[in-house]
Amino acid sequence: MIKAGIIGATGYAGGELVRLLLGHKEVEIRWFGSRSYIDKKYAEVYQNMFELVDATCMDDNIEELAKQVDVIFTATPQGYLASVLTEDILKQTKVIDLSADYRIKDVATYEEWYKIEHKSPQFIEEAVYGLCEINRDKVNADTRLIANPGCYTTCSILTAYPLVKEGLIDPSTLIIDAKSGTSGAGRGAKVNNLYCEVNENMKAYGVATHRHTPEIEEQLGYAAGKEITVTFTPHLAPMNRGILATEYASLVKKEDGSYPTEEEIRAVYKKYYDKEKFVRVLDAGVCPETKWVEGSNYVDVNFAVDKRNGRVIMMGALDNIVKGAAGQAVQNMNLMFGFKESEGLELVPMFP
Amino acid sequence: MIKAGIIGATGYAGGELVRLLLGHKEVEIRWFGSRSYIDKKYAEVYQNMFELVDATCMDDNIEELAKQVDVIFTATPQGYLASVLTEDILKQTKVIDLSADYRIKDVATYEEWYKIEHKSPQFIEEAVYGLCEINRDKVNADTRLIANPGCYTTCSILTAYPLVKEGLIDPSTLIIDAKSGTSGAGRGAKVNNLYCEVNENMKAYGVATHRHTPEIEEQLGYAAGKEITVTFTPHLAPMNRGILATEYASLVKKEDGSYPTEEEIRAVYKKYYDKEKFVRVLDAGVCPETKWVEGSNYVDVNFAVDKRNGRVIMMGALDNIVKGAAGQAVQNMNLMFGFKESEGLELVPMFP
Amino acid sequence: MIKAGIIGATGYAGGELVRLLLGHKEVEIRWFGSRSYIDKKYAEVYQNMFELVDATCMDDNIEELAKQVDVIFTATPQGYLASVLTEDILKQTKVIDLSADYRIKDVATYEEWYKIEHKSPQFIEEAVYGLCEINRDKVNADTRLIANPGCYTTCSILTAYPLVKEGLIDPSTLIIDAKSGTSGAGRGAKVNNLYCEVNENMKAYGVATHRHTPEIEEQLGYAAGKEITVTFTPHLAPMNRGILATEYASLVKKEDGSYPTEEEIRAVYKKYYDKEKFVRVLDAGVCPETKWVEGSNYVDVNFAVDKRNGRVIMMGALDNIVKGAAGQAVQNMNLMFGFKESEGLELVPMFP
Amino acid sequence: MIKAGIIGATGYAGGELVRLLLGHKEVEIRWFGSRSYIDKKYAEVYQNMFELVDATCMDDNIEELAKQVDVIFTATPQGYLASVLTEDILKQTKVIDLSADYRIKDVATYEEWYKIEHKSPQFIEEAVYGLCEINRDKVNADTRLIANPGCYTTCSILTAYPLVKEGLIDPSTLIIDAKSGTSGAGRGAKVNNLYCEVNENMKAYGVATHRHTPEIEEQLGYAAGKEITVTFTPHLAPMNRGILATEYASLVKKEDGSYPTEEEIRAVYKKYYDKEKFVRVLDAGVCPETKWVEGSNYVDVNFAVDKRNGRVIMMGALDNIVKGAAGQAVQNMNLMFGFKESEGLELVPMFP
């Protein structure tokens, strides 16, 4: 039984961490950090936790927390962890950061897209990008700091990864059109996120400027073996949870001048994901739907080929606050502490 | 490890039974019965079960099924079980019926409200009304047949039960205004249940004629120690899951002519529910919300007093396909087989 | 062509006033007042008005405004108008107040329920409660100040009015269970009104304490010819628009000891509403649905009798920001200026 | 005052035609055709029309209807009109077809994508593709048969048209990712369209095979001056109304090797749409949202440039049953009969 602390426990990702860790056999939550609700009962902030969590919200004293727990989850705004993390903390505890602070290896890129100065670039190199299905070999007992991937990025990368890695598509043609539920916008009180503004509405936002873009490019660039530039467009959809990524790319012709067949493409997906518990390659002709993964750690992927123009349309669906945030964080924790990778995550998707 | 069969596995309650039983340590599902989808892969009907359920839908041969499993769940239309149940079946297996066939002890009442002839009234007497919090002492290894309560009734009864039982309210004044998510209407293809008809809409239906009325009256009548008549109005709400019951009744004055105080009322709720894991009496001033119990087996209850006219407003919220159907069925199964009552049901409500 | 000014033009009721007045032949909007958005283009606050409204938001200088326009609509927080209204203003222009400031004739009652001091009680007597179907004879060219009814109250009163007025029900037994869309909560940035908090959720709020209670009691008290006390419970529903009121009361027995028949009850509804354009008494057996009045000024009403206990269940549905706010305000304006009562309000409900 | 008949009046597009025509000064509806509801009161099928429409549903006898009315709207399944249309009918009345029967000039293409035989190809040549903003000069008093454009196609075409027409983008790179509300799926009772299946869900469907693809290609091909092939992916979104199209294409470099600037692109949009009442080119940086056009005949368009890879992201939003169906049909009727083009269509979008 290890002890965990959460900084930012009252945001949606923080709340989901609590939900998942309550069902985890090897972890006890010892610290519910929330700058906004200090001294308030956690179950008053999230009434679903009534009689399940008795604790009171604490401040975000990470130095003190580091002494008390084996792992700290930071579900905090960009820049927070970078501004407080120290070698001392990392010597005492492991840190899994759900913010973007250590996801991007190039500080200049981070500062350009996030418009903030990085306060502790010395830890970027060490941080492991915790996309378990791809970086599993780097997440282990020696790992001190995890940069937990973003929700859009997890979905976007896993959907295209096998085809990029195996060179079946030209990554310079990659276009990602992603639709997200509103929990991704957080629990802050903003007019834009009011029920009446989101309900019965669809819109794009952050077009050509969204901050998950360089993260996708960096990771898919590793797969491609070269730098790539993608077009990424996020959309806000009237639902609580879920991301659906529809991705478009031109297939690369084989040596004989023909395009890869559907069977060949499917074989590549199977090669990478057949043994992955949390990535499900759906049967031919079945499109991923966000509802089918709701509440679970699954990513459902599939594709179709537009034969008339040699494009492949790839599709991926996940629950943005499970596999796109808290679930993946727990998966990383499991790997770091040698627990069964799926411990606490064997959640059957809820339908309807 | 016991073996279970489900008849009606492809309705919403049947699907939820599958979700819950997949997470239950002591049960293995051996039969996914579905008249509509015979020979189709179950996971093609409910894609959330992809890679989790490999089985194919079977017909609803209950006699054959009785030989193969320890318990049969029937999540079937009214009248089905009554038309096929035999002594032979009950000698071989236990049956938990999610339909209304054996809920009402008086056959004439059943036939009047349901407009169908009861084909096996000889089993009504034996059937136990499986509202665990109230009838727990009757649900045990000897129980062969459970009449699993309806969704509206579970919520309506548990919300008012302590005050009726202890005589704090006049049951003849009881008015129940219930709001349900649309999964309660089932998965049948009907125009009324189309997205565009339900979304952005609220309506009452079955006013003064809904079939859950006599079930509520019978059970609360037992608590009151006399026959009672209530007014029950169900409403359809634009959400997938959840029932909220708002119940109104006149408080009975105490001997000194005063009304019971809020503290006295609260003490009565606590008396009945303090040790109940699945009934949560919320803190004073906190109104139950369906979202706080979504996906879980909890019922949240609370009340307020309208001092100006001596009425109490009682409120209860549950997930209609968990505590209102499949969750309660599993709870009954646990009691019948001597498992921990909460096994497979320790689900943290999902928010948002 | 008269000139109108709106103070509070950027709330939801204010926005709806703009929508309605843009389609009104006799009115030109000259002032879009909004304390929060001064100097911002109105169409940037409500992009649906792009190319339809060219104006910029103004401050809320009501004295200046009174000189420029024939009628002022105040869609402002409680207490605002009471704190700025003067005889001078009323001499220059008509005022239609969508807040509660002049709805309640008894100042003490207002101050008790609203928890604010009333700053201009001298105008309360003069203010006309603008529920057109009931007070039409008091809304005319001489009227200077209209207290435009609340959304819940309009729905609650019109649903029960004929039966109270004609003595068919005992008003002391009246219980109102109302369900409202979220636009009723306004456009303020509050966590409680975020999409993820409201969506897939139902809850009661303000139980036994909601401020529309005394307004309902006062108006229905006039109809009953005596003071009455009702139980009123509002609920928040996951939809943008619409209020559904389900109301319960005991029927009063006739001299022969029998209850009024359905035909007799229907005849009373017809007596009051047959000539009312905006109140539709639905056919027997048809329950009002909020979707059927969406975007329009209609109120749909109907009832059912629970013969087993002598209760009538009355139901009413309206669009909370049309007939429950802006539409009714325009209806009052039409009466005050001698326009056709339905001018600008002949909107066909939108479905789906 | 002309007389109109609607065949298919009880589908969602048919219902919207009724809503719009009730507010049209020059038209009287004389025939509410509905094969499914013959002899039923129209207002019982659409209760929003209670007291607004007194008529009873008629069968779909188009020959008889042609004698009685000046214009027939067919909001019918594919193949219906093609199977019944005759020269005789066209000699007596004008026909505006909301199905796809006459939209595609090449019969073979129609039959390939729609999988049905075309029964009256002789009228295809004559039929005018009624996308008013582009084909206005062909819609006039002489026009007998209008092929009213599809919902996805109207949105997809108008969003990209100026850039294709002026050669600013390479049409062979065009990718259209469209998200539609569920009313587009019609009012048929199908499991896939049930509330609980659509709500809280996003999915693509008809990937690389949707039947609006050839219609988009044909029309944009005319603009491009050559045959083009696009990738079109429709998605189902949990909302009643609205289509949002997000479209991607590579910009064509100018002679000096640079890409067109944002100003140059905007100027092209303005050139085509500045005088179009129903197409609104939003201000720079503002993304179209479906809610801002709900209930109206507007199309909101805008774009952003991804400078890093020379792509333009075009966005368009409309209400699928107004501008995407019934509104456009009325707009065509107005042009055919010489009414003001916007008569009956000056609807302010409803928000929220």
Neighbours of D233 (CB within 10 A): 25
Query: What residues does B311 pair with on adjacent strands?
Result: B250, B306
**Closest residue in chain C to residue D317, using alpha carbons only:** C48
Q: What are the distances in angstroms from CA D205 to CA A283, A350, D242, D248?
A: 14, 21, 17, 19
Q: At what angle do helices B262-273 and B151-165 cross, to 10 degrees?
A: 120
pLDDT at D45: 98
Amino acid identity of residue C88, one-letter, is D
pLDDT at A60: 86
CB contact under 8 A, A352 and D197: yes
Alpha-carbon gap, residue C301 to D302, rounded angstroms: 44
Active site (annotated) includes residue A151 = yes
| Test mutation, A169, A201, A210, chain D, max D CBs within 10 A | A201
Query: What residues does B147 pair with on adjacent strands?
Result: B97, B129
pLDDT at A311: 98
Whether A47 has its CB under 8 Å from any CB of chain B: the answer is yes
pLDDT at B60: 86
Q: What is the mean pLDDT of chain D?
A: 98
Chain A hits for D237, Cβ within 8 Å: 179, 202, 237-238
Whether D175 has its CB under 8 Å from any CB of chain A: the answer is yes
Tell me if residue D248 falls in helix, strand or coil: strand
Summarised one tens digit per residue, pLDDT across range C111-140 is 999 999 999 999 999 999 999 999 999 999
Nearest to B167 by CA among B228, B213, B126: B228
Nearest to A288 by CA among A319, A331, A249, A262: A319
Are the beta carbons of D6 and D32 closer than 8 angstroms? yes
Alpha-helical (H) ranges within chain A are: 12-22, 42-45, 62-68, 80-84, 87-92, 107-114, 132-135, 151-165, 195-198, 213-224, 262-273, 327-337
Tell me if residue A239 falls in helix, strand or coil: coil
Which of C44, C46, C291 comes nearest D351 by C-beta?
C46
pLDDT at B96: 98
CB contact under 8 A, B179 and C202: yes
Summarised one tens digit per residue, pLDDT across range B244-253 is 999 999 999 9
Query: What length is written for chain A?
Result: 352
CB contact under 8 A, A238 and C195: yes
Alpha-carbon gap, residue C22 to D350, rounded angstroms: 12
Alpha-carbon gap, residue C228 to C209, rounded angstroms: 16
Alpha-carbon gap, residue D48 to D45, rounded angstroms: 9
CB contact under 8 A, A183 and C196: yes
Query: How close does chain B come to C240, measured CA to CA in Å?
Result: 7
Residues of chain A with pLDDT under 70: none
| Test mutation, C195, C321, C351, chain A, max A CBs within 10 A | C195
Which of D12, D190, D196 comes nearest B240 by C-beta?
D196
Chain C hits for D50, Cβ within 8 Å: 280, 282, 292, 300
CB contact under 8 A, C48 and D350: yes
> Which helix (DSSP H) or strand (DSSP E) does residue C84 occupy?
helix C80-84
Chains with 3 or more CB pairs closer than 8 angstroms to D? A, B, C
Summarised one tens digit per residue, pLDDT across range D172-228 is 999 999 999 999 999 999 999 999 999 999 999 999 999 999 999 999 999 999 999
pLDDT at A301: 98
pLDDT band of residue B105 (cuts 50, 70, 90) is very high
CB contact under 8 A, C292 and D52: no
Query: What is the 8-class DSSP label of residue D119?
Result: S
CB contact under 8 A, B196 and D240: yes
Query: What residues does A180 pair with on adjacent strands?
Result: A236, A243
Catalytic one of A151, A155, A196, A287: A151
Are the beta carbons of C158 and C152 closer than 8 angstroms? no
Chain B hits for A44, Cβ within 8 Å: 283
**Closest residue in chain A to residue C241, using alpha carbons only:** A196
Alpha-helical (H) ranges within B259-305 are: 262-273
Q: DSSP secondary structure string, B311-339? A: EEEEEEEE-TTIIIIIHHHHHHHHHHHT-
pLDDT at A52: 98
Q: DSSP secondary structure string, D16-50? A: HHHHHHHT-TTEEEEEEE-GGGTTSBHHHHSGGGT
Chain D hits for C352, Cβ within 8 Å: 12, 183, 240-241
Nearest to A327 by CA among A288, A299, A287: A299
To the question of pTM greater than 0.90 for the whole model, the response is yes
pLDDT at C207: 98
Tell me if residue B276 falls in helix, strand or coil: coil
pLDDT at B315: 98
User: Residue A197 corresponds to which tokens in the numbers above?
Assistant: 């503004």
Chain C hits for D300, Cβ within 8 Å: 47, 50
CB contact under 8 A, D187 and B196: yes
Chain D hits for A238, Cβ within 8 Å: 237-239
Are the beta carbons of B133 and B155 closer than 8 angstroms? no
Whether B187 has its CB under 8 Å from any CB of chain D: the answer is yes
The dihedral formed by the CA atoms of B49, B53, B56 and B62, expressed in degrees to the nearest 10: -100
Query: How close does chain B come to D271, measured CA to CA in Å?
Result: 38
Judge whether residue D110 has pLDDT over 90. yes
- What is the residue whose two structure tokens read 């030989």? B67
**Closest residue in chain C to residue B214, using alpha carbons only:** C308
Nearest to A141 by CA among A280, A346, A335: A335
Q: DSSP secondary structure string, B56-102? A: B-B---HHHHHHH-SEEEE---TTHHHHH--HHHHHH-EEEE-SSTT
Which D positions 191-230 lie with beta carbon below 8 A of chain A? 196-197, 199-205, 207-208, 229-230
pLDDT band of residue D102 (cuts 50, 70, 90) is very high
The backbone torsions φ and ψ at residue A89, rounded to the nearest 5 degrees and listed phi first, read -65, -45
Whether D12 has its CB under 8 Å from any CB of chain B: the answer is yes
**Closest residue in chain D to residue A352, using alpha carbons only:** D196
User: Residue A155 corresponds to which tokens in the numbers above?
Assistant: 């979905």
Residues of chain C with pLDDT under 50: none
Chain D hits for B183, Cβ within 8 Å: 196
CA angle B341, B343, B349 (to 5 degrees): 105
Chain C hits for B308, Cβ within 8 Å: 208, 229
pLDDT at A210: 96
pLDDT at D340: 98
Which of A203, A238, A308 comes nearest D288 by C-beta?
A203
Catalytic residues of D: 151
Give the mean model confidence (pLDDT) for residues D92-108. Answer: 98
Judge whether residue D58 has pLDDT over 90. yes
CB contact under 8 A, B194 and D193: yes
Which B positions 74-133 lie with beta carbon below 8 A of chain C? none
Which of D177, D289, D294 comes nearest A177 by C-beta?
D177
Ordered strands of the B145-147 beta sheet: B27-33, B2-7, B71-74, B94-97, B145-147, B128-129
Query: What is the 8-class DSSP label of residue D317?
Result: E
Measured between alpha carbons, how far apart are the two ends of chain A, in Å?
34
- What is the residue whose two structure tokens read 């007194």? D54
Alpha-carbon gap, residue B197 to D165, rounded angstroms: 40
Alpha-carbon gap, residue A226 to A74, rounded angstroms: 31
CB contact under 8 A, D195 and B182: yes
pLDDT band of residue D60 (cuts 50, 70, 90) is confident
- What is the residue whose two structure tokens read 């016991």? B2
C157 by Cβ neighbours in 10 Å (0-12 / 13-18 / 19+) ranks as buried
Catalytic residues of B: 151
Neighbours of A145 (CB within 10 A): 20
Give the mean model confidence (pLDDT) for residues B158-179. Answer: 98
CB contact under 8 A, D202 and A287: no
pLDDT at C216: 98
Measured between alpha carbons, how far apart are the two ends of chain C, in Å?
34
pLDDT at D147: 98
Q: What are the distances in angstroms from CA B30 to CA A302, B21, B37, C157, C159?
A: 30, 11, 16, 57, 53
Q: What is the mean pLDDT of chain B?
A: 98
Query: How close does chain C come to D68, measured CA to CA in Å?
Result: 26
- What is the residue whose two structure tokens read 């009554």? B82
Which of C12, C280, C295 comes nearest D50 by C-beta?
C280
Neighbours of C254 (CB within 10 A): 12
Alpha-carbon gap, residue C334 to C279, rounded angstroms: 17
CA atoms in the 13 A half-sphere facing the CB of A288: 31
Are the beta carbons of D7 and D89 closer than 8 angstroms? no
Summarised one tens digit per residue, pLDDT across range D218-227 is 999 999 999 9
Whether A300 has its CB under 8 Å from any CB of chain B: the answer is yes
> Which helix (DSSP H) or strand (DSSP E) does residue B235 occupy?
strand B231-236
> Which helix (DSSP H) or strand (DSSP E) does residue A95 occupy?
strand A94-97
> Which helix (DSSP H) or strand (DSSP E) does residue D215 occupy?
helix D213-224
Query: What residues does A179 pair with on adjacent strands?
Result: A235, A244
Which C positions 227-246 lie with beta carbon below 8 A of chain A? 238-240
Give the mean model confidence (pLDDT) for residues B113-121. Answer: 97
Alpha-carbon gap, residue B250 to B228, rounded angstroms: 14
CB contact under 8 A, D248 and A306: no
The helix/strand count (H/E) of chain A reads as 12, 13
Neighbours of A39 (CB within 10 A): 9
D253-257, long-range: CB < 8 A, 24+ apart = D253/D310
Query: What length is written for chain C?
Result: 352
